[in-house]
Amino acid sequence: MNAENIIKTVKVIILLKLLNTAILGEEKKYLLSEIAVFALPGVDSKLYTNKDLIGKSGTLLIFLSNHCKISQVFQKKIVDNNREWKLKGINLLVFSPNYENAILPDELAYSDSGDSYKEMKERAVRESYNFPFIYDGKEQIITKSLNVRITPSAYLYDKVGRLVYSGRLGNHEKPEEFEKGELNQNIKKILNKDDIEFNRTRNFGTAIKFRKDLHLAENVKRRYSSETVQLNYADERRLNFFIKQKTNYPKFFYVWSLHENQKQNRENLITISSNYKIFRKRGLKVYTICICKDSEKGVALEILKQAQLSSYNYYCLGKEITEISKMRSSEGNKTTPFCRLLTGENHFKFGTNGFIDARILRVSFLQTLNTN
């Protein structure tokens, strides 16, 4: 063998060793014992640490986010299957990994809640979570330790803490086949004490937001704050057209007056604005109608600007809302403020007089968009 061939052979051997080291290094990094030291709060107010990772038969770590559509697909499946997993010694811990302030408004448009600790608690109660739901959104210790990038993601360890599976929870297009999926099949192998070679699957879901992504959300907020807010006069004919027009998307009307419930109007407009920013890319149309004089238009416009409500904003003298007033609920004595959500076919949905509850409004928008 000549010198050139010897050099080539040595290079190949070195390359193979480097590749082998990389693979072994990656698997060693993903040993349960290699997870960074943590002490994180669960929605049950308990503080979870590395000691809570060990399971009698194995350990399953799942990363879910409230606002992720595919995470939501598997919520019930996790709850249902965990009853059996727990009985058979599989220790399940679920982490919420997002730095919630870095989530863009429109990324929340398929969920009834965001990823804050408070919203995690609310989701856990509504969905009857029977597992520790742990907040990792602040420092993202576990998320970074395992290099998790997408929700939902699963990491399955055997009883000695060796990673045997990572990837998707199941086929999100056929969630009813969860039991046939890779995760559940690997759990069965652990419980049957079968030999398992480490395996992983390609994952589908929502990209996790990190602190470094915060500038993107801040840029969006700045853009929203700089959007032009207009207020134009609308006669009865125009207002009636908005009501009767059939569209492919829901329409929301808010009728308010400068002379009634000013503090409540400001709060309601801010609530409407924050929800409009979330859902407008899904096609939601928002109309505000202020009852005021021409000379008061500037005051009304300033209130709308403070709320950053760059929707369809109109004002009228009051006599023009004959048809719109039919959308008002019968409750209460005062005429304004009131609101009404219509489907694309103009069927009445959510409506209330006076104070608008932010959560009820968000859920109403979400449900109507999902069924429209």
pLDDT of 329? 86
pLDDT of 335? 82
What is d(CA 125, CA 82) in angstroms, rounded to the nearest whole number?
A: 16
- The answer to whether 78 and 110 have CB atoms below 8 angstroms apart is no
* Two structure tokens written together for 28: 């060693």
Domain boundaries, the chain: 31-216, 227-371
Q: Which CATH number fits domain 227-371: 3.40.30.10, 3.40.1010.20, 3.40.50.2000, 3.40.190.10?
A: 3.40.30.10
Q: Burial code of 277-286, b = ≥16 C-beta within 10 A, e = fewer?
A: bbbbebebbb
pLDDT of 372? 74
pLDDT of 22? 31
Query: Cβ–Cβ contacts within 10 Å for residue 112, how many?
Result: 19
**342 strand-pairing partners:** 251, 348
> What count of Cα atoms within 13 Å lies in the side-chain half-sphere of residue 209?
24
pLDDT of 4? 52
Fold for the domain defined by 31-216: Glutaredoxin (3.40.30)
Distance between alpha carbon 222 and the CA centroid of its chain, in Å?
A: 21
Q: What's the CA dihedral at 139, 143, 149, 155 to 10 degrees?
A: -170
**165 strand-pairing partners:** 156, 199
Residues of the chain scoring pLDDT < 50: 3, 6-29
Phi, psi of 129 (to 5 degrees): -60, 130
- The answer to whether 312 and 238 have CB atoms below 8 angstroms apart is no
Examine domains 31-216 and 227-371 and report if their fold is the same: yes
Q: Residue 220 class from Cβ within 10 Å (0-12 exposed, 13-18 middle, 19+ buried)?
A: middle
Global pTM value: 0.86
Query: Cβ–Cβ contacts within 10 Å for residue 248, how many?
Result: 8
What is d(CA 336, CA 314) in angstroms, rounded to the nearest whole number?
A: 15
Q: Burial code of 332-341, b = ≥16 C-beta within 10 A, e = fewer?
A: eeeebbbbbb
pLDDT of 201? 94
* Two structure tokens written together for 177: 């086949």
pLDDT of 179? 93
